[in-house]
A and B are shown apart, each in its own frame.
Chain A
Amino acid sequence: SQTIHQWPATLVQPVGSPLSLECTVEGTSNPNLYWYRQAAGRGLQLLFYSVGIGQISSEVPQNLSASRPQDRQFILSSKKLLLSDSGFYLCAWQGRGGYNEQFFGPGTRLTVL
């Protein structure tokens, strides 16, 4: 069966520090991968998606970047965190062919102080 992992679960970082959040998927190949951010009590904002290794599409220009060094690994990064980067970050995968359901990881709660 497929599983998706995210770590860390929670993170508290000072403003200006770097960020690296990792997401890995098991039990599937060639998934579409997604990074979302969710502000408190709000919906999901799509940040990045990837249809293959090294292929990253950005939905919202901001202080973050994403990379996909391996088929089932998706990394969200920042060189210098801003206060506004605080939020709940969710990784999701979707089967190839599109128009399928997404499967979400447990999320990372990021607080920037």
Chain B
Amino acid sequence: SQQGEEDPQALSIQEGENATMNCSYKTSINNLQWYRQNSGRGLVHLILIRSNEREKHSGRLRVTLDTSKKSSSLLITASRAADTASYFCASSGGSYIPTFGRGTSLIVHP
């Protein structure tokens, strides 16, 4: 299975701190994506990183990919209360269909 697993399952921080979430996957990938989900809503795509890329930035988000360790991390810098949400990684390998992990629940306290 291509399934990614996020770590930690839950993360609680103060506003202004950085939040780091990790994702591991099992087999070789074509790309890895990160999504955000607010409670009771659909998922929103954040960043897609391809297997030949090592780092990608988007605003306060930084994603890294280490294919040798089959892992990725999502860093949110200077977190805000509005960043409170669940974050999922999804990996695509031989099949173009992304496989989602169980997510990390992030709570940012104001």
Q: Which residues of A contact B (CB under 8 A)?
A: 32, 34, 36, 41-44, 46, 49, 88, 90, 92, 94, 97-107, 109
User: In the complex, A99 Cα to B44 Cα: how many Å?
Assistant: 16
Q: Within the complex, which residue of B41, B42, B48, B103 is in contact with A43, where a contact is CB–CB below 8 Å?
A: B103
Number of A-B contacts (CB under 8 A): 55
Question: Which are the 5 A-B pairs with shortest beta-carbon distances?
Answer: A98-B96, A104-B42, A43-B102, A101-B45, A44-B100
Task: Indicate if the CB atoms of A102 and B88 lie closer than 8 Å.
Answer: no
Min Cβ gap A89→B in Å is 10
User: Which of A32, A44, A90 is the most central at the interface, judged by chain B CB atoms within 10 Å of its CB?
Assistant: A44
Q: Which residues of A contact B48 (CB under 8 A)?
A: 100-101
Min Cβ gap B94→A in Å is 11
Chain A residue with the shortest CB-CB distance to B10 = A41
Chain A residue with the shortest CB-CB distance to B33 = A101
Q: Which residues of B contact A (CB under 8 A)?
A: 30-31, 33, 35, 40-45, 48, 88, 90, 92, 96-103, 105
User: In the complex, A103 Cα to B90 Cα: how many Å?
Assistant: 13
**Does more than half of chain B's interface fall in helix, strand or loop, or is it mixed?**
strand
Min Cβ gap A110→B in Å is 13
Task: Indicate if the CB atoms of A107 and B97 lie closer than 8 Å.
Answer: no
Task: Indicate if the CB atoms of A102 and B41 lie closer than 8 Å.
Answer: no
Task: Indicate if the CB atoms of B42 and A99 lie closer than 8 Å.
Answer: no
Q: Within the complex, which residue of A36, A90, A99, A104 is in contact with B96, where a contact is CB–CB below 8 Å?
A: A99
Chain B residue with the shortest CB-CB distance to A107 = B42
Task: Indicate if the CB atoms of A43 and B43 lie closer than 8 Å.
Answer: no
Q: Within the complex, which residue of B33, B41, B92, B102 is in contact with A42, where a contact is CB–CB below 8 Å?
A: B102
Q: Within the complex, which residue of A32, A41, A90 is in contact with B43, where a contact is CB–CB below 8 Å?
A: A90
Task: Indicate if the CB atoms of B31 and A99 lie closer than 8 Å.
Answer: yes
Chain B residue with the shortest CB-CB distance to A104 = B42
Chain A residue with the shortest CB-CB distance to B93 = A99
Chain A residue with the shortest CB-CB distance to B90 = A102
